[in-house]
Structure 1
Amino acid sequence: MTFQKSESAGYLTNHMARLFANGLQRRIQPLGLAPAQFMTLLELWDEDGLTQKQLLERLDVEQATMANTLRRMERDGWIVRRPHPDDGRAHQAWLTPKARAVRDAATDAADAQNGVALTDLSDEERATFLDLMRRVIHAMQVWEGKEAR
């Protein structure tokens, strides 16, 4: 049997993710945000003061990538980093007023991108699609030993 792109979950997921990311980037760029910054802000909007290690675990990115993202975010005024009070090696990332002020516009942009992407699905199909995506993500996390998130 020959490999068929149209039948490959990995290929289709990667293609879909690129399209989502490109659309999101166009929508949040006027806010001064890049997609990696937006993903980090989503975590910090949920829980301000996370450490780099906690962000690594939640976003499942490489340490160097997260370090660069946080450095750029601090430079651009989205976060401030302060030493962790209980761990001298760790720093916490705290949102700035600038980051808090852009939350609604940024999440509205993401909602708009999701709306475009899912426009041809019924409400029931959307719910099923999202449930299936969560299940596949969970299966991949279990396989990689990262299910405790």
Structure 2
Amino acid sequence: MKDFDKSRSAGYLANHQARLFAQALAERINPMGLAPAQFQCLLELWREDGLTQRDLVQRLDVEQATMANTLKRMERDGLIERRAHAGDARARTIHLTERARDLQGPAQAEAQAVNARATAEMSDEERTAFLDLMTRAVDALRK
């Protein structure tokens, strides 16, 4: 049987890359009081405030329990507030606080710096191809 070559495994490399990205991002946003999981939620809420927990679970492809814990920490940290849903008495919508809105520019700038560092040795064409291929892999796994 042939040995498993992790350097030729898309799954291994994507997982390793994701961990490295998360570590690099954490180093840059922790001083703002943010964790990478919170940043992911904020990206969605900066784009569309007032989502439900279910919306975030679907958009971020995470488990319900994981999202519940992340949102609990975000509420504790003054990043979000929950409000009654206008059309569903059982649901609550999640809204950004002023603190979270103020963090959008600085936090996104730090994420862009991490992305720039990771792709610094790629040409513009390689960077575009890399991102296109990653997007296709994500889309294929979602099906």
TM bucket (normalised to shorter chain) is over 0.9
CA-CA distance at 1:6 after TM superposition: 0.7
Structure 1 consecutive aligned stretches of length 4 or more whose deviation exceeds 6 Å: none
* Whole-Å separation in 1 of the counterparts to 2:86 and 2:75: 19
Structure 2 regions of 5+ residues with no counterpart?
A: none
What secondary structure sits across from 2:56 in the alignment?
A: helix
Q: How does 1:55-66 map to 2 (within 5 A)?
A: 55-66=56-67
CA-CA distance at 1:141 after TM superposition: 0.5
CA-CA distance at 1:83 after TM superposition: 1.1
RMSD: 0.5
Please report the TM-score for the alignment, with normalisation by the length of structure 1: 0.94
* Whole-Å separation in 2 of the counterparts to 1:71 and 1:18: 23
* Whole-Å separation in 1 of the counterparts to 2:6 and 2:134: 19
* Whole-Å separation in 2 of the counterparts to 1:52 and 1:83: 12
Bigger drift between 1-10 and 107-116 goes to 1-10
Q: Does residue 1:67 correspond to 2:86, yes or no?
A: no
Q: What's 1:146 paired with?
A: none
CA-CA distance at 1:4 after TM superposition: 0.6
CA-CA distance at 1:2 after TM superposition: 1.8
What secondary structure sits across from 1:102 in the alignment?
A: helix
What secondary structure sits across from 2:49 in the alignment?
A: coil
Structure 1 regions of 5+ residues with no counterpart?
A: 143-149
Q: What's 2:24 paired with?
A: 23
* Whole-Å separation in 2 of the counterparts to 1:33 and 1:2: 40
